[in-house]
Amino acid sequence: MAEAKAKRFVQQEVPKRSVEERLRSFEEVALGYTEEQAIAEAKRCLRCKEPQCVRGCPVEIEIREAIELIGEGKFDEAIRKIKEKNSLPAICGRVCPQENQCMGQCFLGKKGAPINIGALERFAADYELAKGVDIPEVAASTGKRVAVVGSGPAGLTAAADLAKLGHNVTVFDALHSPGGVLMYGIPEFRLPKRIVEAEVNYVKRLGVRVKADVIVGKMIRLEELFEEGFDAVFIGTGAGLPTFLRVPGENLCGIYSANEFLIRVNLMKAYRFPEYDTPIRVGEKVAVIGGGNVAMDAARSALRLGGKVSLIYRRTEEEMPARLEEVKNAKEEGIGFLFLAAPVAFLGDGRGWVNKIECIRMRLGEPDETGRRSPIPLDNSEFLVDADTVVVAIGQTPNPLAVRNTKEITVSKWGTIKVNPETQETSMEGVYAGGDIVTGDATVISAMGAGKKAARSIHEYLMKK
């Protein structure tokens, strides 16, 4: 009896690729539960009367019901239940920061390990992808047309929800492959591109049209979308602009923005150069500046490209915004961490290439407005770090291209689009926005939550019109 109780508090471990294999391969690290594991994990669920997990889910998945179905071996029903609310489960199961959301709320977590909801979601989604995806019936056509600008998590979610409600949806993307940050930002070893393609394909099979290579704001202005016959527009263009440190020497060769580094590796498949045409240069000593998921992705990519990688973060491990699982993976793979340090200059080798970083040491002060303790530079604490490749991963800012020439859209001083938080409505009639373009850089799932909310508002708006 005591043993059974103890078992209830222990999570089924997700099988992972071995570290040796990971060091030279972009293959996915987490391998996912087997059927037996999924059932065992699902059976740990306490079936709370008022499940807290759901309250932690930005897209409101009926998690308890889905887990129960998995526990009964009813995988088809489980994925259908999940997909009632979430059109991209194979993605969320892999990249959501579950520890801060559903799993963070799980009652079991108070006594032991919470249910690994992410791994179960992924299991159900992969189960369906492997056997062939069922397309749910969509509502009868409303005759209304919606343009979705940006095909990242916010845009895809809005598009899928609107298509299910019977609207005629076209998604535009500036890049050549749809998926936004899922395609260009998150590496293969964390989110295989075939999974993104499969989820995009699902959205297409709901009747959504996807047009790549179209830059709204440049090739067609927002206002013109209405002239072209669209009845409403959703903007989900994300936080696509890189942030640099603005310190001397930052334009030396060998210094990448995280965006450039990851776009080359993920979207352009530079890790397969010269089989693919886009090159990337990773030297012997790589420094990644930052402590978020993007920094972790860049560091682990650089490692797989043969570099010895250190991460430089101005706070301590505790304040790092990266997902716990990814920090753990990075440590296992041998990424070095230099905490409480920040670059003040990049030094060149005399031929235009970076070879050293001048850093200063920091200490932690009082918590700032985000609740994290803010770093304070220590006087006369300069020191040098060797680095022939640097990736600056200190955040992204909203991409203004889509609305730059549209005065009717009110934008904050940070470049984010202002919306009514209840409805995601912008200042322009019929135009809604959500995701990083509204919040500044955040998570895939919060963008999806916003896309979902916007779809609901757009539906109401169109049906009243």
When the beta carbons of 69 and 175 are compared against another protein, the nearer one is 175
* By CB under 8 A, residue 59 contacts another protein: no
Q: Does 219 bind another protein (CB under 8 A)?
A: yes
Start-to-end Cα distance in the chain: 62
Please pick, from the candidates 5, 131, 194, 218, the single residue that binds another protein as defined by CB under 8 A.
218
Nearer to another protein, 77 or 223 (CB): 223
User: Side-chain half-sphere of 299: how many Cα atoms within 13 Å?
Assistant: 31
Q: Is 213 in the site for another protein (CB under 8 A)?
A: yes
Under the binding rule (CB under 8 A), the answer on residue 349 touching another protein is: no
* Residue that the structure tokens 């420094």 belong to: 287
Question: Which range touches another protein (CB under 8 A), out of 245-253, 282-290, 363-371, 444-452?
Answer: 245-253
Cis link prior to 274 (omega < 30° from 0)? yes
Q: What is the biggest distance separating any 2 CA atoms in the chain, rounded to whole angstroms?
A: 71
What is residue 240's three-state secondary structure? coil
- Residue 351 as a binder of another protein (CB under 8 A): the answer is yes
Nearest alpha carbon to residue 365 among 356, 357, 374, 353: 374
Total number of residues that touch another protein (CB under 8 A): 42
Site for another protein in 179-198 (CB under 8 A): 184
Residue from the set 25, 52, 278, 316 that interacts with another protein by CB under 8 A: 278
Q: Which of 163, 196, 263, 431 binds another protein (CB under 8 A)?
A: 263
Q: Give least dist CB 298 to another protein, A.
A: 13
| 10 lies in the site for another protein, by CB under 8 A | no
Other Cβ atoms closer than 10 A to 465: 9
- Interaction mask 123-162, another protein, x per CB under 8 A: ----------------------------------------
Q: How far apart are CA 2 and CA 83, in angstroms?
A: 37
Asked if residue 281 binds another protein (CB under 8 A), the reply is: yes
Burial of 227 (0-12, 13-18, 19+ CB in 10 A): exposed
CB of 460 to another protein, least distance (A): 32
List the structure tokens of 238. Answer: 């994300």
Rg for the chain, CA atoms, rounded: 23
Considering only residues 373 through 402, tell me which ones interact with another protein, judged by CB under 8 A. Answer: 399, 401
Residue 220 makes contact with another protein by CB under 8 A: yes
Q: Does 242 bind another protein (CB under 8 A)?
A: yes
Q: Site residues for another protein, window 97-126 (CB under 8 A)?
A: none
Does the protein bind another protein through residue 259 (CB under 8 A)? yes
The only residue of 109, 250, 347, 440 in contact with another protein, by rule CB under 8 A: 250
Q: Which residues contact 206 (CB under 8 A, 6 or more apart)?
A: 87, 135, 136, 138, 159, 160, 163, 164
Residue 170 is a binding residue for another protein (CB under 8 A): no
Could you say whether residue 347 binds another protein (CB under 8 A)? no
Taking CB under 8 A as the binding criterion, the range among 5-13, 66-74, 126-134, 273-281 that sits at the site for another protein is: 273-281
Residue 271's SS3 state is helix
Which residue type, as a one-letter code, is found at position 410?
A: T
Residue 374 has phi, psi (to 5 degrees) of: -90, 145
| Residue entry with tokens 């150069």 | 273
The distance of closest approach from Cβ of residue 134 to another protein in the complex, given in angstroms and rounded to an integer, is 28
Sign of the alpha-carbon torsion through 4, 8, 9, 12: positive
Task: Look at residues 5, 29, 36 and name the one whose alpha carbon lies nearest to residue 15.
Answer: 29
Exposed e or buried b for every residue in 346-378, given b needs 16+ CB within 10 A?
Answer: bebeeeeebbbbbbbbbebeeeeeeeebebeee
The residues that touch another protein, with contacts defined as CB under 8 A, are: 174-176, 184, 212-215, 218-220, 240-242, 244, 246, 250-254, 256-257, 259-260, 263-264, 268-269, 273-279, 281, 351-353, 399, 401
